Amino acid sequence: MIRIGRLQSFSDAVIAIIVTIMVIQFKVPSGTDIFALKDIIPTFLAYLLSFSVVLGIYWNNNHNLIHPEKPVTTDIMWANLHLLFWLSLVPFATTWIGLHYSNSFPTAFYALLMLLCAIAYNILESAIERHHGKNAKLAGSFANIIKRKVTQTLYLFAIGAAFISPWISDLLFVVVSVVWLIPDEKIKRSTFLLR
Amino acid sequence: MIRIGRLQSFSDAVIAIIVTIMVIQFKVPSGTDIFALKDIIPTFLAYLLSFSVVLGIYWNNNHNLIHPEKPVTTDIMWANLHLLFWLSLVPFATTWIGLHYSNSFPTAFYALLMLLCAIAYNILESAIERHHGKNAKLAGSFANIIKRKVTQTLYLFAIGAAFISPWISDLLFVVVSVVWLIPDEKIKRSTFLLR
Amino acid sequence: MIRIGRLQSFSDAVIAIIVTIMVIQFKVPSGTDIFALKDIIPTFLAYLLSFSVVLGIYWNNNHNLIHPEKPVTTDIMWANLHLLFWLSLVPFATTWIGLHYSNSFPTAFYALLMLLCAIAYNILESAIERHHGKNAKLAGSFANIIKRKVTQTLYLFAIGAAFISPWISDLLFVVVSVVWLIPDEKIKRSTFLLR
Amino acid sequence: MIRIGRLQSFSDAVIAIIVTIMVIQFKVPSGTDIFALKDIIPTFLAYLLSFSVVLGIYWNNNHNLIHPEKPVTTDIMWANLHLLFWLSLVPFATTWIGLHYSNSFPTAFYALLMLLCAIAYNILESAIERHHGKNAKLAGSFANIIKRKVTQTLYLFAIGAAFISPWISDLLFVVVSVVWLIPDEKIKRSTFLLR
């Protein structure tokens, strides 16, 4: 019997590798002045985006996966591997959008991959809830649900927007990063006021 | 004295690295439309296959390795390193079959490597059972034995089939993946009905 | 709720990957005599420097992060990811300075990145102290504060010095490494004598 | 205060990365028949050697590092980083010897690096013993001491032998691997008979 804690450590390791190996694909500039860095700025920004979105969402969402001692069932295991599979393609999509940031298709591809990661995360969470029950008192879970709905909607828009102008999609990617930077408590309070 | 738990964490880390670094070898397409992805489809499918087979079999089989507190003997340690050695060659075989999917030899080589990984897993398990005894009540172990026998037979066939047509081998690889997707409980029930 | 211990393990993994993947970028010399190694000496020295500074400072400073059971708040998490982001750029900066060690800009860039890492570390520590309180009795913390002030001042000087002569900066980098080699107890004693 | 257990996990991660990334440097053959593999045989054998020696020695020697709860002192930490530094160069030396296996210098360089790793391991162990005392009842430690003395002597010979014929050194490398394959109990018994 494998416990969720071990699958979690494994997933943490995969995430650590994913965000770190992206940097190997930075080409070291042949020039030696400040202008030599100009060529890698798009790649750098794409990396900054993927780094913060992958890690931000992954770590924030992990609030809900808090049963390290419970056993892993076959469907939890596959749901987790399914999430890791899409996440593992992030370095590829990041390098592609970094090199061709003004083109529609690499931008739409990046948005699609991010959407698939988000959906895979939901599938994993449902699988865990199905077996181990919902944790109703979970702090910040309400704000978390809002963040995730917003994220998925923005990625969906970003796929379409890439074919009008990739810059709209880029803007939406930045908005997603900012959404995850806001502490859950602030969202809770503001949605309370809206009601 | 090293405990099995530590060897297990080490092996998890090696597996995490193996499945993640395969993606570094994806060449970023120079084109920027949907057709640019056409060239990487075989590599992508080979990666999908290796990712699911390596992780699926590895995590499913780990049901049986449940003595984290017991000591690692010299033969358990070498049996584990022997398994990790063959697994570490998976990225190489995956890239090769991805680039030359219509050729017999890279396909047979991939099937052979997968068979060696499966055999290495059996050797490791025997070593653990020899020292720490069989765990008779293990849930799903009967289904697990069937899955592994089927897997090894299919890989053996796939080696030969590659020289008739690589597509037969590819089909067998997909069947192996599907076998591991089926929850153990279903296999238990159906084999019960057959008796 | 994520505990600091898990974020710490994650960060350890990222650091392990960062210091190890730098070596992939060593080009294997085409020659086979001792002179073949001549070309990789600057890259080797740059690697030695980054390896010892990143690991030395990271592990030494971790004295202060000793609440593995306390929860990770949103700002601790982002402060940690912010630190990992700058650290993840170290392999890139190391390869660049290794290839162009006699040029001002790659040297200044390296010094700047190291300064950013040091500042990011301070931000993380402040975030932890804000939530979990200061640990006043911390052994060696006084020596640690001195080491860090010296480190940051030297990196600041190294940025400017690179435009006069990169060799001055290189010397300052070596001094930083040496500072971290000195056990905390010795600094404590010597500063005691100075008072 | 950092405990030895954490430094051990960190070192395990570095070792896991080192043995796995060596495979990235395998060039995928352009041919598709069995002869296409001919060119990578030396690289493959060099990898097999490094994999088994690094992992075999590392895991076997770890018998002695059994105080996971004790604190890490400054000199233990640096002794550990010193060991990891030399180990991190193994992928580079492995690729070089794999490509130029019939040349003296890459072979001597490989032997020298292995000797440096072995010495670094001794330094680490002395540092731990100095602080936390010797563990006299350690199972297999006597056989372990013999294995290590033999290993270091063989590497020393291999450095010199490389300049007569690299094949002598290669033979010595194989002998080292075999030495570590022998269970400690057998060595104990045979040295007992010799007395």
In tens, the pLDDT along B57-103 reads: 787 766 555 567 777 787 888 888 999 999 999 999 999 999 898 99
Residue A53, pLDDT above cutoff 80: yes
DSSP D29: P
Phi first, then psi: give them for residue B3, nearest 5 degrees: -90, 155
Is residue B52 within 8 Å of residue B9, measured between CB atoms? no
CA distance A195 to A185: 16
CA distance D139 to D183: 12
Which of residues C94 and C38 earns the better pLDDT score? C94
The helix (run of H) or strand (run of E) holding residue D94 is helix D90-99
Q: Which of B13, B23, B181 sits opposite A89 (nearest CB)?
A: B23
Which positions ≥6 away from D102 have C-beta within 8 Å? D166
- Lowest-confidence range among B114-128, C24-38, D107-121? C24-38
Q: Which residue has tokens 């860095």?
A: A37
Which of residues D164 and A3 earns the better pLDDT score? D164
Which positions ≥6 away from A71 have C-beta within 8 Å? A1, A2, A3, A4
Kindly state the average pLDDT of the residues C27-39: 83
Nearest to C107 by CA among D135, A167, A34: A34
Q: For the range D99-102, what are the long-range contacts, defined as Cβ-Cβ under 8 Å and sequence gap of 24 or more?
A: D99/C28, D99/D42, D99/D43, D100/C32, D101/D42, D101/D45, D101/D46, D101/D166, D101/D170, D102/D166
Return the pLDDT at C136. Answer: 43
CA distance C59 to D78: 10
Is residue A139 within 8 Å of residue A88, measured between CB atoms? no
Amino acid (1-letter code) at residue A15: I
Confidence of residue B194 (pLDDT cuts 50, 70, 90): low
Show residues of chain C in contact with D92, CB under 8 Å: 23, 26, 28
Return the pLDDT at A138. Answer: 46
Confidence of residue D93 (pLDDT cuts 50, 70, 90): very high
CA distance A45 to A101: 10
Is residue C129 within 8 Å of residue C79, measured between CB atoms? no
Is residue D169 within 8 Å of residue D162, measured between CB atoms? yes
Q: How far apart are the first and last CA of chain C?
A: 46
The C-alpha angle with vertex B189 and arms to B183 and B191, in degrees rounded to 5, equals 105
SS3 C18: helix
CA distance A61 to A118: 10
* C10–A52 C-beta distance less than 8 A: no
Residue A139, pLDDT above cutoff 60: no
Show residues of chain D in contact with C17, CB under 8 Å: 13, 17
If you average pLDDT over every residue of chain A, what do you get?
83
Residue B141, pLDDT above cutoff 70: no
Question: D23: distance to nearest CA of chain B, Å?
Answer: 7
Q: Which residue has tokens 């033969």?
A: B75
Is residue C58 within 8 Å of residue C15, measured between CB atoms? yes
If you average pLDDT over every residue of chain B, what do you get?
83
Nearest to C120 by CA among C80, C152, C154: C80
The helix (run of H) or strand (run of E) holding residue C44 is helix C41-61
SS3 D7: helix
Neighbouring-strand partners of residue C71: C3
Q: Which of C21, C59, C62 sits opposite D21 (nearest CB)?
A: C21
Phi first, then psi: give them for residue A88, nearest 5 degrees: -65, -20
SS3 A71: strand
H-helix segments, chain A: 4-21, 41-61, 74-88, 90-99, 104-132, 141-161, 166-181, 184-194
Which positions ≥6 away from A48 have C-beta within 8 Å? C85
Return the pLDDT at B134. Answer: 62
Nearest to B151 by CA among B185, B123, B116: B116
A45 touches chain C (CB under 8 A): no
Within its chain, how far is the Cα of C96 from the centroid?
Answer: 17
Show residues of chain B in contact with A95, CB under 8 Å: 28
Nearest to A148 by CA among A117, A185, A170: A117
CA distance A57 to A148: 9
SS3 A64: helix
Kindly state the average pLDDT of the residues C71-81: 84
Show residues of chain D in contact with C29, CB under 8 Å: 96
Q: Which residue has tokens 């002869």?
A: D35
Residue B153, pLDDT above cutoff 70: yes
CA distance A17 to B21: 8
Confidence of residue D109 (pLDDT cuts 50, 70, 90): very high
Neighbouring-strand partners of residue C3: C71
Kindly state the average pLDDT of the residues A47-72: 76
Please report, for residues A60, B97, C22, D19, D163, the alpha-carbon distance to residue D25 in angstroms, rounded to integers and kept in the order given. Answer: 36, 17, 14, 12, 26
Record the tokens describing residue A191, joined without a space.
């949605």
Kindly state the average pLDDT of the residues A123-151: 73
Is residue D113 within 8 Å of residue D89, measured between CB atoms? yes
Is residue A151 within 8 Å of residue A116, measured between CB atoms? no
CA distance D40 to D30: 11
Please give the model's pTM, rounded to 2 decimal places. Answer: 0.89
Within its chain, how far is the Cα of B195 from the centroid?
Answer: 29
Which positions ≥6 away from B81 have C-beta within 8 Å? D51, D52, D55, D56, D59
Record the tokens describing residue D11, joined without a space.
């070192």
B6 touches chain D (CB under 8 A): yes
Show residues of chain C in contact with A34, CB under 8 Å: 105
Is residue A90 within 8 Å of residue A50, measured between CB atoms? yes
CA distance D73 to D129: 12
SS3 B70: coil
Confidence of residue D191 (pLDDT cuts 50, 70, 90): low
Residue D139, pLDDT above cutoff 50: no
Amino acid (1-letter code) at residue D179: V
Residues 75-134 of A with CB under 8 A from C: none
SS3 C92: helix
B12 touches chain A (CB under 8 A): yes
Residue of chain A whose Cα is closest to the Cα of C25: A24
**Chain B interface, best mutation among A14, A43, A83, A163, by max B CB count within 10 A:** A14
